[in-house]
Structure 1
Amino acid sequence: MRVFAIGDVHGCLVALNDLLAWVQPTRADDLIFLGDYVDRGPDTRGVINRLIELKQARPVVCLRGNHEIMMLQARDGGRPERKMWLGVGGVQALGSYGPALGVSGTFDDVPPGHWDFLENELVPYHETDRFIFVHAGVYHDAPMDEQPDNMLYWEFLPDAMRHYTGKTVICGHSSQRSGEPKVIPGAVCIDTCAYGGGWLTCLDAISGRYWQVDTLGRKREGWVDYE
């Protein structure tokens, strides 16, 4: 069994499909997505459709990211929440729900099944005997069921993140403009900027091997050395 973690997809359906086709996870492998499926990239709608299909076909863990939170807040809140979300990728997300090419969608164009996925199918973290998977980060001295939302979804990568359990933290959220996974003591971040010329990363948490694709179809792979 392998344990695959996939970093922030951000609407990059082509890269996601290419990555899955290359890595070819089986039903015997764990498959964990680290959140931020929506916004910024061109096809939020397609990404959510793909994740829903995957969950129907096999066990998949989908974490909640801060961009999913902002999308829901924009729908349910007022003008400030909507303006903030549109400014960080919501424009592209709604554009993917448009009724025609070049015509932006509205919240009413988002299918009920997508709202259900965002509200009810995402989890705050995933913990195994060796790893903690989380969107943003963890406090080193708190058990996972006591971690506050600001740490799970919003805080950026510190210089070290050694959890008291000794488990390695696998996270996204903190954009690595270099396109390379970032290893710090106790953790590795695989948000390698799938949108805007970056890479989408899949990490085998056990071996440290990773695979990357970009929106142009290029591929590369490497290894991380945990500290």
Structure 2
Amino acid sequence: MMEQTNESTGRLIAIGDIHGCNVALQAILAAIDPQPNDIVVTLGDVVDRGPDSRGAVETLLQCGQKTQLVALQGNHEEMMLNVLRGSESHHSWLRYGGVETLDSYGFDGGLDFLPESHRVFFESLGDYFVYEDYFFTHAAYDPAVPLEEQTVEMLRWHSLRQGVPEPHHSGKIAFVGHTANHEGQILDVGHLVCLDTHCYGGGCLTAMDVRTRQVWQANPDGVLLS
């Protein structure tokens, strides 16, 4: 996707898998209070499974008007976009949370259900983001391969349960989502931090200032935990 080399004077904040948990997202963003010189990176899977994917996208669009928002594509956005483009059957997407997304958009049978601003948002999603000593992607990475040469399978689909990759050859610290910790705990192995804390399944939504390691968490009802 992109690499940004000029340093920000604000915070660098990553948010794990949102999965339609808009109430938790709003609570997290209210606590963070993003400023114009902050960078907020969402790690993918904004949609599916949770109750309000449409609302979560709208919240992020509003957030992007106040701060620097970098939104990455997860495997759930990939499934949805492939269905909308006609390149993939709808069956897998619906089975893994697409029904809830369609419900949130008031689906009436047509595939043009996305408002134009949401369509532009989804089409703009990137695969990775590099900033200072950190990089961000949805799922994982091949430690020996430059980020611009990584496969989509690795960036969006690889589960950490299949194996946590070794440090990336760049020496940068990875922040990822995708592999949900059902106990709501952050996985931190030093060179990799996973922020998917299973919000839609009763865990929490997690955000972290990657420099200071300050953490914000909210449960699906929007109650702040930290």
Using CA pairs below 8 Å that are at least 6 residues apart, which structure has the higher relative contact order? 2
8 Å Cα contact 1:12-1:194 kept in structure 2: yes
Task: Please give the alpha-carbon distance, in whole angstroms, between the structure 1 residues aligned to 2:187 and 2:109.
Answer: 36
Q: Residue 213 of structure 1: CA displacement?
A: 0.1
8 Å Cα contact 2:38-2:67 kept in structure 1: no
Moved over 6 A (4+): none
Is structure 2 residue 82 aligned with structure 1 residue 73?
A: yes
Name 1:85's counterpart in structure 2: 93
Q: Residue 105 of structure 1: CA displacement?
A: 6.3
TM-score normalised over the length of structure 1: 0.89
SS in 2 for 1:212: strand
Which runs of no fewer than 5 residues in structure 1 stay unpaired? 222-227
Q: Residue 53 of structure 1: CA displacement?
A: 2.1
TM-score normalised over the length of structure 2: 0.89
Task: Please give the alpha-carbon distance, in whole angstroms, between the structure 1 residues aligned to 2:73 and 2:127.
Answer: 6
Which runs of no fewer than 5 residues in structure 2 stay unpaired? 1-9
> Given the superposition, is the C-alpha separation of residues 109 and 5 from structure 1 closer, same or farther in structure 2, using an over 3 Å criterion?
same
- Match for 1:161 among 140, 153, 166? 166
8 Å Cα contact 2:38-2:68 kept in structure 1: no
Q: Residue 160 of structure 1: CA displacement?
A: 4.0
Name 2:16's counterpart in structure 1: 7
**Cα offsets for 1:81-113 (capped at 9, x unmatched):** 2011000000000000117xxxx6642322132
Corresponding letter in the other structure for 2:188: V
Task: Please give the alpha-carbon distance, in whole angstroms, between the structure 1 residues aligned to 2:69 and 2:112.
Answer: 27
Corresponding letter in the other structure for 1:111: P
Aligned residue pairs, count: 215
8 Å Cα contact 2:143-2:165 kept in structure 1: no
Alpha carbon RMSD of aligned pairs, Å? Answer: 1.6
Name 1:145's counterpart in structure 2: 148
Q: Residue 22 of structure 1: CA displacement?
A: 1.0
> Given the superposition, is the C-alpha separation of residues 56 and 216 from structure 1 closer, same or farther in structure 2, using an over 3 Å criterion?
closer
Is structure 2 residue 112 aligned with structure 1 residue 108?
A: yes
Name 2:194's counterpart in structure 1: 189
**Cα offsets for 1:119-155 (capped at 9, x unmatched):** 1x21111101210111011111111111111111110
SS in 2 for 1:98: coil
